[in-house]
Amino acid sequence: MVERCPRCGHHFERGDGFWLGSIMINMAFTFATFLAVFVGGMVLTWPDTPWGWLLIITLLLNLLFPILFHPFSRTLWIGMEMAARPLEPREVIDAAAFGTGEWSIAGQTTERHSGN
């Protein structure tokens, strides 16, 4: 994920441990998806539930879903964080200055370099 929003310049990581909330969201969605697939698989195939196939499918789901859902969980967390704790004035100024080609972090002015 990029460090700043390419459109508005918002710095995504607002502090140490900021992404722990997105990890919690990812775990909750992974568990809910696992539970839905497991229970759904049991209900649809009862009484002859193919336990081996159900195990393989749920294991693959638990391996792949968190990786594929990761960007979405970060986006959800950023939205929840911004709704609960709006940007501080210094963050707004920093984001606006980033769009001009120069931006500051902790009072240090740094030029933004292009990828060339």
pLDDT in tens, 79-101: 899 899 888 888 888 888 776 55
**pLDDT band at residue 29, thresholds of 50, 70 and 90?**
very high
How high is the mean pLDDT of the chain? 84
* Measured distance CA(69)–CA(30) in Å, rounded: 8
Per-residue pLDDT tens for 4-14? 877 777 778 87
- CA 2-79-102 angle, 5° bins: 40
Residue in this structure with the two tokens 């990828």, named with its chain if needed = 115
Task: For the chain, give the longest Cα–Cα distance.
Answer: 67
* Measured distance CA(35)–CA(39) in Å, rounded: 6
Q: Model-level pTM?
A: 0.73
> Looking at the predicted structure, is the pLDDT value of residue 28 above 90?
yes
pLDDT at residue 65, as a whole number: 98
DSSP line for 22-62? HHHHHHHHHHHHHHHHHHHHHHHHTTS--HHHHHHHHHHHH
Asked if 35 and 28 count as a contact pair (C-beta separation under 8 A), the reply is no
Per-residue pLDDT tens for 37-70? 999 999 999 999 999 999 999 999 999 999 999 9
* Measured distance CA(63)–CA(67) in Å, rounded: 7
